[in-house]
């Protein structure tokens, strides 16, 4: 169940737009193909798009046939194209920055050595993601009760990362530890990451779950049927404000009103200390057709105006804790996030 895998000379991507009924793969052989796959959400989820972009950068270098002197400018174009695919998840910016720094470091080597060094860097970004997810799972498991109904939104699982997942990594770990957990999965309109992807992952591992429409969450909480909310993140500002899939903010407010703990699980690569608060997080707005159409079938007339932001920002005050690979961060985030990052 891998979202992506480097296969010698190309990046194999599981096309997540076709799940759960079709397991179709794309062999991306150029940086433009990787950019297209990220844009179309064939590969999605903050860590997965970061790692894919890093391999896209490698493909850009591998395919270069021009003059040595023009190489830096060309690689700049590769970076800009990959960067422009999706604006919210900072993991994309982070991974591309690491690749750019590596290129600067090795730019005077022979072309073959440059390519090798870039591939090694992308592999190490992917490996770090695997490692961080396992640790997030371990730390997160410590706060999951022996018996719990956990509500999650979108897909922060294996499909959204290189392996294992962040929020779903915690859930996996708790399940493997023998805890009696049950997961409420928000369907996550309009792209249905919950219904199509999270449920797919839960089914494969036999983790007890129930699919709900997004608007059912409040009613469930009111009935005392949710013990904790656990979500992923696309960008965490220095003060702890967190961007995640649209609908996350509503869940956080509801959880607060019902005194239910609300946890974010994310690697430190999702933290953006350059921005002081969530107000500065760029929120992607996607095409209205994602809302007007359902599986290729029009459900709303074409002329209906649609507002389709892909993410929202949850203020830090609603977040009980942020589960990272370095431990669980508690408020005040403006102090504790920095402490965690320099650890
Ligand atoms: O639009 P998507 O599917 O890329 O959005 C994904 C999310 O919002 C996830 O919760 C987030 O990226 C964390 S994935 C570990």
Helical H segments across 5-153, by residue range: 31-39, 46-62, 71-83, 90-106, 111-141
pLDDT at 218: 98
pLDDT over 70 (residue 1): no
pLDDT in tens, 168-216: 999 999 999 999 999 999 999 999 999 999 999 999 999 999 999 999 9
* Residue 91 Cβ contacting ligand 1 at under 6 Å: no
Please identify which of the residues 9, 113, 129, 234 carries the catalytic annotation.
Answer: 234
For residue 190, is the peptide bond before it cis, meaning its omega torsion is within 30 degrees of 0?
yes
Rounded to an integer, the average pLDDT of 80-94 is 97
Secondary element (H or E) of residue 297: strand 297-298
Rounded to an integer, the average pLDDT of 23-30 is 97
pLDDT over 90 (residue 22): yes
Task: Give the max Cα distance, the chain.
Answer: 67
Q: Predicted confidence band at 305 (pLDDT cuts at 50, 70, 90)?
A: very high
Domains along the sequence of the chain with CATH: 4-134 (1.20.120.420), 136-341 (3.40.50.10470)
pLDDT at 242: 98
Q: Which atom in ligand 1 lies closest to the alpha carbon of residue 89? A: 12
- Residue to substitute in 17, 53, 89, 308 for testing ligand 1 pocket (most ligand atoms within 8 angstroms of CB): 89
Q: Predicted confidence band at 342 (pLDDT cuts at 50, 70, 90)?
A: confident
pLDDT at 126: 98
Going from the Cα of 234 to the center of ligand 1, the distance in angstroms, rounded, reads 6
CA distance 332 to 268: 17
* Residue 320 Cβ contacting ligand 1 at under 6 Å: no
- Residue to substitute in 3, 15, 160 for testing ligand 1 pocket (most ligand atoms within 8 angstroms of CB): 160
Burial 181-217 (b: 16+ CB within 10 A, else e): bebbbbbbbbbbbbbbbbbbbbeeeebebebbebeeb
pLDDT in tens, 218-271: 999 999 999 999 999 999 999 999 999 999 999 999 999 999 999 999 999 999
Q: Is 69 exposed, middle or buried (0-12, 13-18, 19+ CB in 10 A)?
A: exposed
Going from the Cα of 311 to the center of ligand 1, the distance in angstroms, rounded, reads 9
pLDDT at 78: 98
CA distance 12 to 24: 10
Closest residue by Cα to residue 92 from 135, 37, 140? 37
CA distance 313 to 284: 12
* Residue 158 Cβ contacting ligand 1 at under 6 Å: no
* Residue 160 Cβ contacting ligand 1 at under 6 Å: yes
pLDDT at 295: 83
* Residue 56 Cβ contacting ligand 1 at under 6 Å: no
Going from the Cα of 72 to the center of ligand 1, the distance in angstroms, rounded, reads 32
| Alpha-carbon distances of 319 from 126, 209, 227, 309, 336, rounded to whole Å | 28, 24, 15, 21, 13
| Alpha-carbon distances of 259 from 146, 233, 253, 321, rounded to whole Å | 19, 21, 10, 14
pLDDT over 80 (residue 301): yes
* Residue 89 Cβ contacting ligand 1 at under 6 Å: yes
Going from the Cα of 73 to the center of ligand 1, the distance in angstroms, rounded, reads 31
Q: Which atom in ligand 1 lies closest to the alpha carbon of residue 311? A: 8
CA distance 137 to 164: 9
Going from the Cα of 245 to the center of ligand 1, the distance in angstroms, rounded, reads 6
Q: Predicted confidence band at 296 (pLDDT cuts at 50, 70, 90)?
A: confident
| Alpha-carbon distances of 161 from 71, 94, 190, rounded to whole Å | 30, 15, 21
pLDDT at 46: 97
Q: How many residues does the chain have?
A: 343
Coil, strand or helix at 291: helix
Tally of CB atoms within 10 A around 36: 16
pLDDT in tens, 95-146: 999 999 999 999 999 999 999 999 999 999 999 999 999 999 999 999 999 9
pLDDT over 70 (residue 30): yes
- Residue to substitute in 196, 231, 245 for testing ligand 1 pocket (most ligand atoms within 8 angstroms of CB): 245
Look up 287 and say whether it is catalytic: no
φ, ψ of residue 264 in degrees (nearest 5): -110, 135
* Residue 137 Cβ contacting ligand 1 at under 6 Å: no
Pairing outcome for strands 293-294 and 297-298: antiparallel
pLDDT-above-70 percentage for the chain? 100
**Mean pLDDT in the chain?**
97
CA 161 to chain centre: 6
Going from the Cα of 177 to the center of ligand 1, the distance in angstroms, rounded, reads 26
């Amino acid at each position: 169940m891998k979202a992506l895998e480097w296969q010698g000379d190309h990046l194999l991507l599981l096309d997540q737009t076709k799940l759960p009924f079709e397991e179709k793969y794309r062999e991306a052989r150029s940086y433009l193909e990787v950019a297209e796959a990220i844009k179309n959400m064939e590969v999605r989820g903050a860590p997965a798009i970061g790692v894919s972009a890093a391999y896209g950068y490698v493909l850009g270098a591998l395919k270069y046939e021009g003059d040595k002197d023009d190489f830096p400018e060309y690689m700049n174009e590769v970076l800009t194209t990959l960067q422009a695919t999706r604006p919210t998840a900072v993991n994309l910016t982070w991974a591309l920055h690491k690749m750019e720094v590596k290129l600067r470091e090795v730019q005077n080597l022979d072309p073959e050595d440059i390519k090798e060094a870039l591939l090694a860097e992308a592999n190490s970004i992917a490996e770090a993601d695997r490692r961080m997810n396992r640790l997030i799972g371990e730390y997160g498991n410590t706060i999951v009760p022996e018996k719990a109904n956990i509500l999650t939104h979108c897909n922060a699982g294996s499909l959204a990362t290189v392996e294992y997942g962040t929020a779903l990594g915690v859930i996996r770990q708790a399940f493997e530890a023998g805890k009696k957990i049950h997961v409420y999965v928000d369907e996550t309109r309009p792209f249905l990451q919950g219904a199509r992807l999270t449920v797919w992952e839960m089914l494969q591992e036999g983790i007890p779950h129930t699919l709900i429409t997004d608007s059912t969450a409040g009613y469930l909480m009111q009935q005392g049927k949710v013990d904790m909310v656990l979500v992923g993140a696309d960008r965490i500002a220095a003060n702890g404000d967190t961007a995640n899939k649209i609908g996350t903010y509503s869940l956080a407010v509801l959880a607060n009103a019902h005194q239910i703990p609300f946890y974010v699980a994310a690697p430190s690569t999702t933290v953006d200390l350059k921005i002081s608060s969530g107000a500065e997080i760029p929120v992607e707005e996607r095409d209205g057709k994602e809302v007007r159409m359902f599986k290729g079938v029009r459900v709303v007339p074409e002329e209906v105006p649609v507002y389709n932001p892909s993410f929202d920002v949850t203020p830090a005050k609603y977040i009980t804790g942020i589960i990272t690979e370095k431990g669980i961060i508690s408020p005040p985030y403006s102090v504790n996030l920095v402490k965690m990052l320099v650890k």
